[in-house]
Amino acid sequence: MEQKNFLTPAEVAAFCCQTGIAKANTPKVKQFILGILAGVYIAFAAAGSNMAAHGLLADPATYGMGRLAAGLVFSAGLGFVLVAGSELFTGNTLIAVAVLEKKVSVGYMLTNWVIVYIGNLVGSVLIAYLVTSTSLLDSSGSLLGAMTIKIAVGKVGLGFLPAFYLGILCNWLVCIAVWMSFAAKDIISKLFCCFFPISLFVTSGYEHSVANMAYIPLGILAKANEKWTEAAINLGVTAEQMDGLTWSSMFTKNLLPVTLGNIVGGTFCVGVVYWYCYLRKKTAK
């Protein structure tokens, strides 16, 4: 009998449960370190996507192509997370499958989420600091610096409900990418499974909490540079908008609603649905 090189959806559900158990039982220090690494990888992807897309995003006529360019580059981030090994908060919402199977307690899941989330934040801000401490944002006559600020300003100006809904849509796709990668048994297939959902969410403009831990700090730190600030004003960003781009607004106006949306998108739209379809009968009395 020929051995298949992928898992069926039912097998993926079982594998997701086992993965959730392993993640929840990983020592907390390792969860934190691996969380930092995932934040670093996603921040690399965010900075790279800004570089690839900034010129196209600045022109309304090529804005859609700019979103596509950003999506194509950003998709590398989840590939790093899954293949190199690290802990990403948004993907870890799938630990809910193990909770529903009664293999992991809610407390262990929430503890993992908090530790990994903080680690993701540390890693993302680290890369944002390093990038803005170079001359990279001088690219294209400081247009990259201007667009970096403009992107961050846009994210803190979304409004609570739009940010929440965009968070749902984003992590629905991110967790589908993770779910499909579980089905693959070789690295190329895993990367291929990641590529389309991730590039789709970025191209569409959905909101990812960990990515925003990089995009927004990049803008906050960039606005301290007068040259980049002036370029942002020329790009249409107002002084009032830049004043509203702060560490406080990052958490209250973006990360809070986006994180809640990410939890709904990953936990319920993917984890609960597939648990119900493929695992529930096995545990029902």
Instruction: Write out pLDDT tens, residues 5-29.
Output: 889 999 999 999 999 999 999 999 9
Q: pLDDT: is 3 or 211 the higher one? A: 211
Tens digit of each residue's pLDDT (9 = 90 or more) over 86-116: 999 999 999 999 999 999 999 999 999 999 9
CA of 138: how far to CAs of 59, 82, 216, 235, 271, in Å?
18, 32, 18, 15, 43
Q: Note whether 32 and 213 are within 8 A (CB).
A: no
Task: List the CATH code of the domain at 9-276.
Answer: 1.20.1080.10
**How far is it, in rounded angstroms, from Cα 204 to Cα 68?**
8
Q: What residues form DSSP beta bridges with 6?
A: 184
Enter the pTM of the model: 0.96
CA angle at 74 for the pair 71 and 78, rounded to the nearest 5°: 125
Tens digit of each residue's pLDDT (9 = 90 or more) over 50-81: 999 999 999 999 999 999 999 999 999 999 99
Give residue limits of the domains in the chain: 9-276
CA angle at 232 for the pair 248 and 121, rounded to the nearest 5°: 35
**How far is it, in rounded angstroms, from Cα 185 to Cα 183?**
7
Average pLDDT in the chain: 96
**How far is it, in rounded angstroms, from Cα 149 to Cα 84?**
30
